Structure 1
């Protein structure tokens, strides 16, 4: 007989649809207690998060709050009007960590900084240290660049996290006062409110939806809808950069500043979830398809332009000049997860997996102390680094330090993005060692994924009366798989896969097991021929991991003259001694010895030069491809993902 689950965990995380939300799926409760993501999250908890207050102190963020609170004297520190958000993102990250481990040192730091934030708030609810201290208290006069509502959004998200994780009201009270102030100021013409305007950096929109979910105050949801729909009407001059060129409902492709676009789209998905707005839902699905088809790098990274941190044109996907900001990868995960819950479709979690393992995780070093703001797909031989936020070398902190605390908050809240439940059962979106639970079932998983493809599931508890469905996502990249469940066995030729889901329905009993075996054979990947930057090249992948070459593994020269031989087989070699233990892919190639062309790097392609500059065959070389997410953890040098084959 089924057993009633004992104290199944309630899912605590960044997205909590209301009971009446029009969503296909709802987040499940996941505990990660071993394996790949457990180790990376442990470094976040042990190293990255505890350093946060010291780094925020040295950068001046906490000093500014003390100034605004009247607790210190001096000058504002920092170059940007949005430095408060670094504090709020750290607070959010720390709150999600406290939901798992209410350790006293971290809890004490959180409450100290929460009290400081509350003290800096003005009596009418407004809070922004830049405008309070530098601009003489003048408000909302520079919505394009001022980021006042952007800062408010991150404060609200931190407050919701703090309330959900600890039950304490102090920061939520601050956030509600600020949201009430914003609601009294912004509105449509004729509403009696003084400003019809939007922030140049979307963020407050999705935060207001979550504040509505936390408090039940409908006006926060309405205010979020107002802001979403006012983008694209020329209120900030009509630029794509700040999502003001075209209304989202009419847009046909993603454009402008990548993070701004994705935060706005996450809010649209939230609104569609809570209101049933089919037009917003259709717009989100349409724009996601366009983005993944024409503007997404192999790593899941987004953003082609260093200038303005911008999406490029369709198929404009450069390598060494790829921007792929770490924050954009995080925003992509947030948006795709909302769409996965809204629609129930597995493809959104396919992109989440690719982004998590590659475009996102490369943003933080293995030791948890250094960061990448941008994530290029190539660093050339002889690269001269300009330093700063756009450096291709890992940095301790940034002048614009948006990415490090953003990484911290995604790692701390990662269990929220892994599984879901509905009336039919439990859906496993991402594979980890730990437990997945809804209010009716608990399933345990054991795996060494992504190094190995076997994931073993055991039903631990169930209160379901009759059959229910365990749905396993079969990744888009997977060529071969096998699943064993009791006397049943399926492979890719006869498994009942439904739009990416393997659905197993039965009257499950505690102790029932399912073993999923995903084939992890290494593969060569080519891009659409319209991607000019990588025409004639291939990339090495294995499972969810994109691989790259680093110069340190290939002595005797750089990487610009390496050619891969696609006719030779790829080999897999696990290296417990390398980069904390990784599985590498070994390939055959050659190192071209091209002639020195002197002052002119071009030659005839017609053959009329008599063949004097014909490319030599080159010397054979063994290529060692490491997972992209661990690059830049050793000595500086060149790196490349895409490899020419001729």
Structure 2
């Protein structure tokens, strides 16, 4: 791997080496469009919403209670509630430096206030947790399987790194350093030879090592990673694979167990591999990623098909109506894909990150940014009920987005991801600039030659597929502008508007334009985003006989609010012989039919021969589909992504 010469310190992930160098929040600004709108909502609504709820349910008060000696009777929330405060502080730190939407909010005062609150609960030796270690509580590190102490440190450390990179070391960063030093003493050589049931500390320690230059943090991360798989954690009902403690990381061939845990651990493994130059470890994670994407990933990019243990299922076990597809697993998948992209330069990792961002991360928050999906099913059979606005939801798989959960890891995870999103758009290398995700944006950076470059991106993505890159500043020497051509596209073209204007076809992968660019030059990429049918591998038993629709990077779904009165989405049958067509306002229209609604049409026995089956009536207006990320914003509804087919001869449409 090549060494990275950092041009920006404002980065959530800052590897010292790798194929690509990430561009930071001070180099990339999202200025509008799809992600600009969502980041604006995140900054002006979601961050405050999360803070209000944590105050309301008492999670911020836990730190005060610990400092005042009343935590044993007054603590609120689950054992990992501390981590939600840390994730929110991280989101505030990133948002405060990335003023790229129509707000100018500084969260410095809030970060300072809550840093003081957190500091008041930290013990003199650096230990910090409100659920353990004080009179009336379990002893420190007495429950490594479920206690989440090291997990909470991980999010604290990431918040401290964010504060340092966003504005310089403050109290939060000092708290995080003291906690990390405590971890190294307690779990280092000669200390407790254990690991946390929930990986997270590994990637955080590597990032702290990158930020401080302190080798001991990297060594501790590598030590935790090497201990994983030695079966030091209990053999629980779900097996040690739930904790990824059933086998060493290097020996695993696929991601398994609890999906979020597995993806966080894999991210930490990539970080350690990159910083130590361990190519074998990196190759092991690549193999696991490939097998997981090929066999254990939903069309949306979602991961995890088990509700009971929030885990990956077996290969090709991907039932749409039982998709757990936790939002946090989507965030973790993006984290892993980004790290692999930086390490290898392979655009397939950006492809999965794009799919997951648009169809999982963007699906979780409501349009107003004040309610969230925890789990992301691909098929909702029953209209849900609106969750109460004044109390948290006890159920992760709530039928509609809920304002808060008893386990509210997902809202803060979405918040920190959207706050840091500009840092996931573009990279640089010795040859030029690479664009991986498309949004209205401005990029100002310095090439490896020391020469400044400025670009301006304009796009209607994902509604349309036109991307225009205008050069604002460029050196008098050739360099390469690279644009990702997504794997889903066919017929893409790229061209330099002036002086030649000659279009050339480009295949999925990367389109490159190399020249001496002049200010005012424009490079255009056209990605056809016409809707198309998608079919699944026949080994995915749960969706045989069905089709889905994808348009550009967006997965589509049928929602009952778009059907005639009395019909639910399970009545929909689509005609595979007719291609999907664009409808108004980013909808897609498909030819099909609707089965007769209501239980009065049920047969006395649900099984019959094909010749006894009655054909549903064709819908001459077609069936309207909407982007999956938008579903359930119009009230309770039923929904499905995979749509059963009816052959034209049986529907009687003749199409």
Alpha-carbon distance between aligned partners in 1 of 2:383 and 2:483, rounded to the nearest angstrom: 46
Confirm or deny: 8 A CA contact 1:22 1:275 kept in the other structure: no
Give the corresponding residue for 1:580.
none
Alignment pair present for 1:562 and 2:572:
yes
Confirm or deny: 8 A CA contact 2:394 2:405 kept in the other structure: no
Q: CA deviation at 1:601?
A: 4.5
Confirm or deny: 8 A CA contact 1:82 1:151 kept in the other structure: yes
Confirm or deny: 8 A CA contact 2:203 2:271 kept in the other structure: yes
Alpha-carbon distance between aligned partners in 2 of 1:163 and 1:509, rounded to the nearest angstrom: 36
Map residues 253-292 of structure 1 onto 2, 5 A cutoff: 253-292=254-293
Alpha-carbon distance between aligned partners in 1 of 2:121 and 2:580, rounded to the nearest angstrom: 59
Confirm or deny: 8 A CA contact 2:571 2:594 kept in the other structure: yes
Give the corresponding residue for 2:555.
546
Give the corresponding residue for 2:642.
642
Confirm or deny: 8 A CA contact 1:22 1:276 kept in the other structure: no
Secondary structure, aligned partner of 2:107: helix
Alignment pair present for 1:472 and 2:483:
yes
Map residues 474-623 of structure 1 onto 2, 5 A cutoff: 474-485=485-496, 486=498, 487-492=500-505, 495=506, 500-556=509-565, 557-575=567-585, 583-593=586-596, 601-605=605-609, 611=611, 613-620=612-619, 622-623=622-623
Q: CA deviation at 1:614?
A: 1.9
Alpha-carbon distance between aligned partners in 2 of 1:141 and 1:240, rounded to the nearest angstrom: 21
Give the corresponding residue for 1:126.
127
Secondary structure, aligned partner of 1:390: coil
- The one-character-per-residue Cα deviations of 1:246-298 (angstroms, maximum 9, x if unpaired) are 11101011100000000000011111111110111101110110011001100
Match for residue 27 of structure 1 among 23, 41, 64: 23
Secondary structure, aligned partner of 1:123: coil
Confirm or deny: 8 A CA contact 1:324 1:374 kept in the other structure: yes
In the superposition, the TM-score normalised over structure 1's length comes to 0.92
Confirm or deny: 8 A CA contact 1:482 1:489 kept in the other structure: no
Name which structure has the greater RCO, CA cutoff 8 Å, separation 6+. 1
Alpha-carbon distance between aligned partners in 1 of 2:446 and 2:136, rounded to the nearest angstrom: 51
Confirm or deny: 8 A CA contact 1:521 1:542 kept in the other structure: yes
Confirm or deny: 8 A CA contact 1:68 1:120 kept in the other structure: yes
RMSD: 2.1
Confirm or deny: 8 A CA contact 1:592 1:615 kept in the other structure: no
- The one-character-per-residue Cα deviations of 1:349-408 (angstroms, maximum 9, x if unpaired) are 000100000011111001101000000000014668996222121101000010001100
Confirm or deny: 8 A CA contact 1:231 1:248 kept in the other structure: yes
Match for residue 453 of structure 1 among 465, 470, 495: 465
Secondary structure, aligned partner of 2:446: coil
Structure 1 197/135 Cα, relative in aligned 2: closer, same or farther at 3 Å? farther
Give the corresponding residue for 2:14.
16
Q: Which moved more, 1:531-540 or 1:235-244?
A: 235-244
Alpha-carbon distance between aligned partners in 2 of 1:550 and 1:293, rounded to the nearest angstrom: 28
Secondary structure, aligned partner of 2:469: strand
Alpha-carbon distance between aligned partners in 2 of 1:310 and 1:388, rounded to the nearest angstrom: 17
Alpha-carbon distance between aligned partners in 1 of 2:401 and 2:466, rounded to the nearest angstrom: 33
- The one-character-per-residue Cα deviations of 1:315-365 (angstroms, maximum 9, x if unpaired) are 011111100000000000000000000000000000010000001111100
Secondary structure, aligned partner of 1:389: coil
Alpha-carbon distance between aligned partners in 2 of 1:512 and 1:566, rounded to the nearest angstrom: 44
Q: CA deviation at 1:72?
A: 7.0
Alpha-carbon distance between aligned partners in 2 of 1:320 and 1:44, rounded to the nearest angstrom: 29
Q: CA deviation at 1:416?
A: 0.8
Alpha-carbon distance between aligned partners in 2 of 1:387 and 1:88, rounded to the nearest angstrom: 22
Alpha-carbon distance between aligned partners in 2 of 1:273 and 1:147, rounded to the nearest angstrom: 26
Q: CA deviation at 1:152?
A: 0.2
Structure 1 513/350 Cα, relative in aligned 2: closer, same or farther at 3 Å? same
Q: Which moved more, 1:554-563 or 1:208-217?
A: 554-563
Q: CA deviation at 1:602?
A: 2.9
Confirm or deny: 8 A CA contact 1:538 1:645 kept in the other structure: yes
- The one-character-per-residue Cα deviations of 1:484-512 (angstroms, maximum 9, x if unpaired) are 203153343xx4x5x71111111122221
Alpha-carbon distance between aligned partners in 2 of 1:15 and 1:598, rounded to the nearest angstrom: 56
Alpha-carbon distance between aligned partners in 2 of 1:413 and 1:54, rounded to the nearest angstrom: 21
Q: CA deviation at 1:107?
A: 2.4
Confirm or deny: 8 A CA contact 1:11 1:416 kept in the other structure: no
Structure 1 77/395 Cα, relative in aligned 2: closer, same or farther at 3 Å? farther
Alpha-carbon distance between aligned partners in 1 of 2:481 and 2:41, rounded to the nearest angstrom: 31
Give the corresponding residue for 1:160.
161
- The one-character-per-residue Cα deviations of 1:459-506 (angstroms, maximum 9, x if unpaired) are 11124x5211100000110011121203153343xx4x5x71111111
Map residues 105-124 of structure 1 onto 2, 5 A cutoff: 106-124=107-125
Q: How many matched pairs?
A: 616
Confirm or deny: 8 A CA contact 2:30 2:441 kept in the other structure: yes
Alpha-carbon distance between aligned partners in 2 of 1:24 and 1:558, rounded to the nearest angstrom: 48
Alpha-carbon distance between aligned partners in 2 of 1:602 and 1:259, rounded to the nearest angstrom: 39
Secondary structure, aligned partner of 1:78: coil
Alpha-carbon distance between aligned partners in 1 of 2:399 and 2:275, rounded to the nearest angstrom: 41
Alpha-carbon distance between aligned partners in 2 of 1:642 and 1:281, rounded to the nearest angstrom: 35
Alpha-carbon distance between aligned partners in 2 of 1:266 and 1:363, rounded to the nearest angstrom: 22
Alpha-carbon distance between aligned partners in 1 of 2:303 and 2:179, rounded to the nearest angstrom: 32
Structure 1 105/512 Cα, relative in aligned 2: closer, same or farther at 3 Å? closer
Secondary structure, aligned partner of 1:131: coil
Q: CA deviation at 1:51?
A: 2.2
Structure 1 515/230 Cα, relative in aligned 2: closer, same or farther at 3 Å? same
Alignment pair present for 1:199 and 2:202:
no
Alpha-carbon distance between aligned partners in 1 of 2:631 and 2:576, rounded to the nearest angstrom: 23
Alpha-carbon distance between aligned partners in 1 of 2:601 and 2:104, rounded to the nearest angstrom: 63
Map residues 74-113 of structure 1 onto 2, 5 A cutoff: 75-101=73-99, 106-113=107-114
- The one-character-per-residue Cα deviations of 1:43-74 (angstroms, maximum 9, x if unpaired) are 10111112222111011111101011228778
